[in-house]
Structures are given as structure tokens and as C-alpha cells.
């Protein structure tokens, strides 16, 4: 699916948002249905570490928020979605630009909805690879995402949800 005007504006917002801009990465594509996101992380003075390769913090920061946001956009406001844990497996030093592609399919979304019809919450694990132009994997990031039904205002916060402060 192509980018929509709304996702194009979100892409621009990510790329100018100071927290994401600081990673040195750039969002290059967000599908109109939020089922695919692409990111590019160049080797530059902003991302280079002491030994001349891409800094591990930039590798992780480049991919950090996307599965959580993609799930929030696809599941809608009736669900609470939080990042719960992450692991990074460094395979090779990043000596050039790396890319990552995030994908969610309808089967995954349907499975989450089915599970939450019978369970109060679920944790799902997603993987994304940072690869070079030749397809060589330089880092593998696994994200654990917590998903639950959003409680009604009368029932109070969901387990694991942060209470609102005044």
C-alpha cells in the first residue's frame, strides 16, 4: 500500500522530532494502513562510534518505537499497547547505511484480537533486521510488546497501565 497524506505527514514528523532525529536515522516510508514502515540509518558523523562503525544506541534507537505505534494504529483506541522489553543482537559492525523494514499482516492482528477475546492481556515478540544493501544482517532487534483491552473509565487503569496524573 502507498503512503497516504496522513502517513507522509507522520513520516516528516518523525524525521523532525528531536528524540528520533537524534538517532541519526530517517523514516523513509509509512504505508497508508500502518502495516509497513521502512527506516534508513546511514553511517555519518552523528552515528559513528569510537571505532568508526554505527553506534549501537543509534541502531536500537532507529527501530525502537515502530512495532508499538503500528499496533496502536491498527488495533485502535480500544487497546493499550506498551513496549515491554527489547534485545539487540549485534552480528556485524555497521560500516555503511543500514535499513530496516517493519511489517504487520492481518493474520497477526486477527490473532491478537482473538487472544484478547479470552485473555486480559498478551505479550507478542517481533523481530526486525538491520541490513546493508547486499542484504547482510548487521543487527537483529527483538521487541516484546504488551497488549490489553483498554478499560472503561469506570473500571480504573488496566494491569500494567500507568495511571493518569492530574
pLDDT bracket for residue 166 (50, 70, 90):
very low
Task: Look up the CATH superfamily of 5-152.
Answer: Hotdog Thioesterase (3.10.129.10)
Are the CB atoms for 39 and 46 separated by under 8 Å?
A: no
Q: What is the pTM of this model?
A: 0.88
pLDDT in tens, 87-97: 999 999 999 99
Res 60 pLDDT > 60:
yes
pLDDT > 70: percent of the chain? 92
Q: Which residues pair with 41 in a beta bridge?
A: 98
Note the pLDDT of residue 151: 80
Alpha-carbon separation of residue 4 from 45, 70, 86, 148 (angstroms): 32, 15, 30, 28
Residue 25 in grid coordinates = 536515522
Amino acid at each position: 500500500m502507498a503512503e497516504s497524506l496522513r502517513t507522509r505527514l507522520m513520516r516528516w514528523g518523525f524525521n523532525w522530532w528531536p528524540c528520533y532525529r537524534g538517532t541519526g536515522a530517517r523514516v523513509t516510508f509509512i504505508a497508508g494502513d500502518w502495516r509497513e514502515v521502512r527506516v534508513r540509518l546511514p553511517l555519518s558523523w552523528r552515528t559513528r562510534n569510537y571505532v568508526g562503525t554505527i553506534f549501537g544506541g543509534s541502531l536500537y534507537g532507529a527501530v525502537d518505537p515502530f512495532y508499538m505505534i503500528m499496533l496502536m494504529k491498527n488495533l485502535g483506541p480500544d487497546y493499550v499497547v506498551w513496549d515491554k522489553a527489547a534485545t539487540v543482537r549485534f552480528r556485524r559492525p555497521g560500516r555503511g547505511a543500514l535499513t530496516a523494514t517493519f511489517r504487520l499482516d492481518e493474520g497477526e492482528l486477527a490473532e491478537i484480537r482473538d487472544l484478547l477475546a479470552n485473555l486480559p492481556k498478551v505479550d507478542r515478540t517481533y523481530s526486525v533486521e538491520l541490513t546493508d544493501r547486499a542484504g547482510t544482517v548487521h543487527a537483529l532487534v527483538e521487541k516484546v510488546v504488551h497488549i490489553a483491552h483498554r478499560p472503561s473509565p469506570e473500571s480504573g487503569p488496566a494491569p500494567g497501565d500507568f495511571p493518569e496524573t492530574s
